[in-house]
Each structure stands twice: as structure tokens, then as C-alpha cells.
Structure 1
Amino acid sequence: MTATRDLGTAGPPGRALTAVAEFGRLVALGLDVLVGLFRRPFQVRELIGQFWFVASVSILPAALVSIPFGAVITLQLGSLTSQIGAGSVNGAASVLAVIQQASPIVTTLVVAGAGGSAICADLGSRTIREEIDAMRVLGVSPVQRLVVPRVLASMLVAALLNGMVSVVGVCGGYFFNVIVQGGTPGAFLASFSALAQLSDLWVGEIKAVLFGFLAGLVAAYRGLNPRGGPKGVGDVVNQSVVITFLLLFLVNLVISVIYLRVVPAKGA
């Protein structure tokens, strides 16, 4: 199963069929990538290079973005909990919101926007230069050689950055709650330790890994299917970022609903 070029069809029914076909080819490429993760030879050098590149372009933006995210969540929750007389749980509410929701989303937005767009542009330029077709003629799988290391690098970077973003976001939330809103440090920490559990951290990491997979997969798929020369490469880069964001929020909703229904809250 390999990704092929888009099929243009006029009219709303044709566009709907094209969208379904695109989704099917994306799923097919995803299955190829999952199989390629366990197939030898594995491109270790390519993986290390891509990992370093994605991490280098993502780590600073992720750290900078996580501070205002944590601050906004803490300030908003602190204001609401104070109004209803539940300020003692502000620490747990803000920390859980950062770990479960904000951190994996922020991480993947940065990975997709910085690393994913570069991956898409690289593969797109290779495709229009017919390097991908040349690899197929020589019997080399572009998925195994190029796509698998890039998708795996996105997953690893997302998992590691998610931990960093969680720590920075929680520390930023703590600072703004204690310094700006006049909260009590002991109450902030006590409410967090009383209501948070280890599974909250795990679900954030699982989200980050899955979102990183989606970011790398969509970027690779669009990069392998550009249309219209160099302008088409620019178009698919924009498309890959938008599609990743849409899938990100949809999958996040599904995982959050399943987690909240399956895993009981601490003390429940």
C-alpha cells in the first residue's frame, strides 16, 4: 500500500469522493509506516538527523508558548473558582488542564508548524524533482527510506517536548497563581496532590505520541503528493498544517471523552 497522486474531480459529489479517497490513501500510508517501524534495514542515521532537526526547530517555540498557555489557564480557572468559593482546588484544576489538554496540543501545534512543514517541503521538493520516482525505479521504498524515520522522529520529539511543556506550563501557572492572584503555595500543591493521579500524566504522553504520529504522517503524505511544481509544494505545506490541526482537535476530543469515561477520578 503506497500513496498515489490526487485525483481531481469536479462538483460536490466528486469532491466528496476525492476526500474519501484521500483519507483512504492517508490510512494506507499510515499502515505502511506502522509496518515499516518493524522492518529491516532501519534507517537509524536518517532518524537521528530528523530527530535533531525537528527538536531544534521546535524546542524554543514550545517552551515560549507553554508559559502563556499555563498562565491563561491558571488565571481563568483561578478567577472562576474564586467566584464560586472553590479557590482551594485551583491548583489541581489548572495543573490537570495543562497536563491533559494544553501540553500535548501545544506540543503538536509546534511540531506540526515547525517540523512538519519542513518535512512536507523536503519530501515535496524531492517529489517534483522526481527523486521519489527514481527511488521506486531502483527498488528502494520511499516509505521505508524517508517517511518512517521522519514520522518516528516526530513521535519521539512530541513525547519529549510534551514533558518539557508540562513542567514549564505548571511552573508558569504556579507563579501566576501565587504572585499575581495572591494564592497560597501550600493550597496549590495540596489540591494538586489530592486530586491528580499518574494516569493523568500518561494520557498526556499518549496524546503527544499519537499527535506526533499524525503530524509526521500528514506532512509526509502531502509531501509525496504535490501538484503544480514549486507552487504546489507551497500549497501542500499549508494544507498539511491545516489538516494536522483539524485531526489534532478531533482526535483529542475522542481520547478525552474515552479517558474521562473509563478512568475514574481520584477519590471517586
Structure 2
Amino acid sequence: MATQTGLGPATLRERGTLPGGLREAPKPPKGLTGPLGWVEQLTGMTLLTLQVMKAAISPPYNWGGEFIEQCWLVTKRAFIPLLFCTLVFSYGAPGVSGGSILSTLATTDRLGAFAVMASVRELATWINGMVVAGVAGTAICADLGARKVRDELDALAVLGTDLVKVLLVPRFIALGVMTVIFNYWNTAISLVGQLIADIAVWNETSAGYVSTFASNFTIAEVVFNTLKVLTFGFIIAVVCCYKGMNAKGGAAGVGRAVNQAVVVSFCAVYVYNYLLNSLLLGAFPETATLR
């Protein structure tokens, strides 16, 4: 056919016709790029979240071993950085700097009340989300991305493995659970850091710190604190898993996926933190004042 028409195989292939009259299979459309690329990614993350939720509640529940392994991964990577960052930041930012502001108003005895806003509501939860995303989320993204570019995920799918249930469900739940557990430990460390600054720098008493803290601490703070970090964990999980599962381009592509996962996770945590704090202050106006 190519000889009769004078067209070579390359020319026929460009026209979508192969030698022998066969038609070339249509190529799948490329994803959205440019300013609209985030729409495709947001849609993909939403669909992935729904798939994970469905797989998590559907039997069989055979992801327990992988869940424990992922919990241990998050613990060994995030425990020490969380301890160090929280203690240093809480001592310096709300402890010393916040105390300096209160000192100009001659109200350093209210540092315990300030700790509710600074640590329970903001600092501890924010550091928790940043560290978990930066060390645990990136590890999960890199692991899934490396499996993707080595075609391990495709091989597992060919063998009939449910990738969502086996790989994604335990990672989602592990990040959500461990972020909440770390949050209570993180909040306690943050309060200790501020207490040290209160005593060592501003010469206040621990009894006064505890008393003013208790007068401002409410059940609403606990509920919103737990809800916030739980959602942080799921946001980090969906972003890092999506980026890892869709990595392409070899080792360089895995690196790009990890970098994108960190940036997107940080931005999502910032936005969600602002929205939830606004909801807390709107629903419970008394939390906006130091009593």
C-alpha cells in the first residue's frame, strides 16, 4: 500500500494510518496544563479521597499490618523534629516575644491565658502539620512515586491487587491517627516551653500560669484542636498519595512530585487553618478574649 501510494510508513503513521490499511489507536488526551492544571489535580484528589473512604469501610479489612508499619514510619521520622521544633518555637515566639508584648502592658501574669491562643489554637497544630507533611508525607510520596516510575504499581494491578485498599487506605488512616496523637504530645511540649519562658524570662510563677491558662481553656478549644489536626493529616495524605501515584519522568519526576506535594500540603494547611480558626471565633466569640 505504501509503495502504490508513494507514502512511506512514517508518513502514513503521521496520518493515523499504518501499512496494511490498519488504523492507529487514538492516543489518550493529555491532562490540562497551565492555569487550569490545578482543576484536574483537585478533581483527582477529590476522587481519590472518595475511593479511599469507600475502600476503608468495605471488607475485607486486610490492611492492618501495613497500617502499623506506616504508623511506625510516621513516628520515627516525625517524633524528634516535632519535639525540637515545638520546644524552641514555643519558648521563643509566644514565650519570649509574646511575653514582651504583654510586658509593655504590664500584664505578664496573663501569659497562661495567652498560651491557650498561641499554643492550643495555633502554634502546636501548625508545627504538627508542617513537620508531618515535611518528613512523613514526603517519605510516603517518594515511596509511592518510586514504585510508580519502576512500574511496580502496574505490576501489582495486573496481579489483581487493589492498590487503593492495600497501599492508600493504611497510609491515609496512619497519617490521620498519628497527627492527632502527636498533636496532644505537641501541645503539652508547647505549653511547657512557654512555662519555661514565663518563669525564666518574666519571673512569673507556675501557679499563676496554670491558673490563667485554666480560666481561658474551654472544651471548644479541644474539639476544634482535634478536628483541625485530624483534617491536617487527611489533607497531607491525599496530596502526598496523589502526587506519588501520579509521578512520572524517572527519578527527577519523583523529586518534582515530592516538592509539589510539600508545597501543596503547606498551602492547604494554611488555608484550612485560617478557615477553621475563623469558624471557631465566629461560633464562640468568648475565645477571642483573654480572661
**Pair 1:195-2:211 in alignment:** no
Cα contact 1:77–1:94 (8 A) shared by 2: no
Question: C-alpha offsets along residues 112-162 of structure 1, whole Å, 9 cap, x if unaligned?
Answer: 111111100110111111121223223322111101101111111111111
Once the two structures are superposed, the pairs formed by residues 222-241 of structure 1 within 5 Å of their partners are 222-241=243-262
| Identity rate, percent | 28
Separation of aligned partners in 2, 1:177 and 1:6 = 61
Residue 84 (structure 2) aligned to one of 52, 64, 69: 64
Corresponding residue for 2:147?
Answer: 126
TM (normalized to structure 2)? Answer: 0.84
- The aligned length equals 260
Structure 1 residues 142 and 6, CA gap change in structure 2 (3 angstroms): farther
Structure 1 residues 15 and 6, CA gap change in structure 2 (3 angstroms): farther
Residue 166 (structure 2) aligned to one of 119, 142, 145: 145
Cα contact 2:148–2:248 (8 A) shared by 1: no
Residue 200 (structure 2) aligned to one of 158, 179, 187: 179
Corresponding residue for 1:34?
Answer: 53
Structure 1 residues 6 and 17, CA gap change in structure 2 (3 angstroms): farther
Corresponding residue for 2:240?
Answer: 219
Cα contact 1:7–1:18 (8 A) shared by 2: no
Cα contact 1:121–1:237 (8 A) shared by 2: yes
Structure 1 stretch 69-78 or stretch 212-221: which is displaced more?
A: 69-78
Separation of aligned partners in 2, 1:183 and 1:83 = 15
Cα contact 2:140–2:241 (8 A) shared by 1: yes
Corresponding residue for 2:273?
Answer: 252
Question: C-alpha offsets along residues 141-199 of structure 1, whole Å, 9 cap, x if unaligned?
Answer: 21111011011111111111111110011011001111112123232122111111122
Separation of aligned partners in 2, 1:108 and 1:173 = 20
Structure 1 residues 6 and 233, CA gap change in structure 2 (3 angstroms): farther
Corresponding residue for 1:24?
Answer: 43
**Pair 1:48-2:68 in alignment:** yes
Point out where structure 2 has 5 or more consecutive residues left out of the alignment: 1-27
CA apart distance, 1:16: 2.1
SS at match of 1:181: coil
Letter in 2 for 1:32: Q
Structure 1 residues 7 and 184, CA gap change in structure 2 (3 angstroms): farther
Separation of aligned partners in 2, 1:233 and 1:170 = 38
Letter in 1 for 2:58: R
Cα contact 1:6–1:225 (8 A) shared by 2: no
CA apart distance, 1:96: 2.8
Once the two structures are superposed, the pairs formed by residues 99-114 of structure 1 within 5 Å of their partners are 99-114=120-135
Q: Which runs of 4+ in 1 moved over 3 A?
A: 5-9
Corresponding residue for 2:177?
Answer: 156
Once the two structures are superposed, the pairs formed by residues 78-97 of structure 1 within 5 Å of their partners are 78-97=99-118
Separation of aligned partners in 1, 2:254 and 2:51 = 23
CA apart distance, 1:17: 2.0
Separation of aligned partners in 1, 2:157 and 2:29 = 18
Separation of aligned partners in 1, 2:29 and 2:81 = 33
Give the CA RMSD over aligned residues.
1.9
Point out where structure 1 has 5 or more consecutive residues left out of the alignment: none
Structure 1 residues 6 and 224, CA gap change in structure 2 (3 angstroms): farther
SS at match of 2:156: helix
Separation of aligned partners in 2, 1:31 and 1:86 = 50
Structure 1 stretch 185-194 or stretch 48-57: which is displaced more?
A: 185-194
Question: C-alpha offsets along residues 76-123 of structure 1, whole Å, 9 cap, x if unaligned?
Answer: 221111212333322111233111111111111111111111100110
Separation of aligned partners in 1, 2:179 and 2:222 = 14
CA apart distance, 1:73: 1.2
Letter in 2 for 1:201: V
Cα contact 1:29–1:221 (8 A) shared by 2: yes
Separation of aligned partners in 1, 2:284 and 2:146 = 45
